[in-house]
Structure 1
Amino acid sequence: MKLFITVAFLLLNFLAYSQKNIKMYNERKGDSLTFYVDNNEIYPVSLVFNGQPEAENLRKPDVFKTTQVIPGKTSRYRVTYFVVNDKKKGWNLKKMPGYQSYIGDITIKQYDKNYQYDLPFGKGKAFWIHQGYNGTFSHQNENSLDFIMPEGTEILAARDGLVIDIVQHNDKSCPTKNCAAFGSYVSVLHPDGTIAQYFHLMQNGAKVKVGDSVTKSQPIAQSGNTGWSSGPHLHFVTYLPSSTGEKQRITVKTLFKTGHGDKVEYLEEKKSYARGY
Structure 2
Amino acid sequence: MDQHLIALDLDGTTLNNQSALTQETIRTLRTLADEGHIVSIITGRPYRIARHIYDQIGIKTPMVNFNGALTHIPHEAWDGEYEVALTRELALDLLANREQLGIKTITVEDKYRVWANHPTKDLPEFLPDHLRDDQLLTAENLTGRPISLIIEYQPGQAEKVIKAVNEKYGTFVEARVWGGPYNILELIHRGTHKESGMYYVAKQYQINRSHIIAFGDEHNDLEMLDAAGRGVAMQNAIPDIKAIADDVTPVDNDHDGLAKYLQEYFKLSI
- Is this a same-fold pair by TM over 0.5? no
Q: Identify, as 1 or 2, the structure richer in strand.
A: 1
- Larger RCO, structure (CA 8 Å, separation 6 or more): 2
Structure with max Cα Rg: 1
TM-score, length-normalised on structure 1?
0.22
TM-score, length-normalised on structure 2?
0.23
Q: Identify, as 1 or 2, the structure richer in helix.
A: 2
